Structure 1
Amino acid sequence: NRMQYVMFDSDVGHYVGFTPFGEKQAQYRNSNPEWMENRRAVVDTYCRHNYEGSTPFLVERSVPPSVSISLLPSSSQAGARGLLCSVMDFYPGHIQVRWFQGQQELSGHVVATDVVPNGDWTYQLLVLLETP
């Protein structure tokens, strides 16, 4: 599912889990003192060194979204169910999508997916403005 479940957090010096499975993995890895000593050393000898070389790709990288808006047909009645905004292939994964009519923001009747990773370092999001 391409979701992160565990990581070594160098700020706190141990593994952190993000899912129940990841929490078990973190607990298992954190309980081995030799393994943890090795992981902390790797942060200095490998991670920090490679961070400098990868900063342009990972930290400073920005990919603008591809955006399309389409009518979403209603399945039960004539007319459209709403407008669907598809926001695709962007990086980093933090994005805000809002609907406006003139200068007025339309916050009611808006449904959105979570930001979903594509697995290639880009993300996607769908935002629906339902028509009453």
Structure 2
Amino acid sequence: MTRRVHEVMTGNPVTVEKLTSLAEAARVMRDADIGDVLVVDEGRLRGILTDRDLVVRAMADNRDPAETTVQAVCTTDPVTVGPDDGVDEAIALMRRKALRRLPVVSGNGELVGVVSLGDLVVEQDPGSALAAIAAAGHDS
């Protein structure tokens, strides 16, 4: 039987509001030991901000992290999956779009989770070296 995204996703993903400063978003990432945050506005997904976005789109352009908001540099309109989509569909989408994480959004547009490459590796090949690395990341 095909597993569904809601079975492997991380529920309650870390989010920041679109007007959050880059400095605060970076602190949130540091404190949660993660490389991205989902950007929301009134509970609706508006984008995704990665640690790479902070470096390439903000620091490299000499943006003031205390004054620049996440909406100014985040990836808007991110690719998403639904909680009832198949894990195989999520993997194919990540492969096709070269993505490491997918926000999970319900049919009514509510953000319900995030599924990462690590989540899917653990699901598909739990004995692999990549699965061991991904699992270790959840323990630290």
TM-score tier, shorter chain, comes to under 0.3
Q: Taking structure 2 as the reference length, what is the TM-score of the superposition?
A: 0.22
Structure of larger gyration radius: 1
The structure with the greater share of residues assigned to helix is 2
Q: Taking structure 1 as the reference length, what is the TM-score of the superposition?
A: 0.23
Higher relative CO (Cα under 8 Å, sequence separation at least 6) belongs to 2
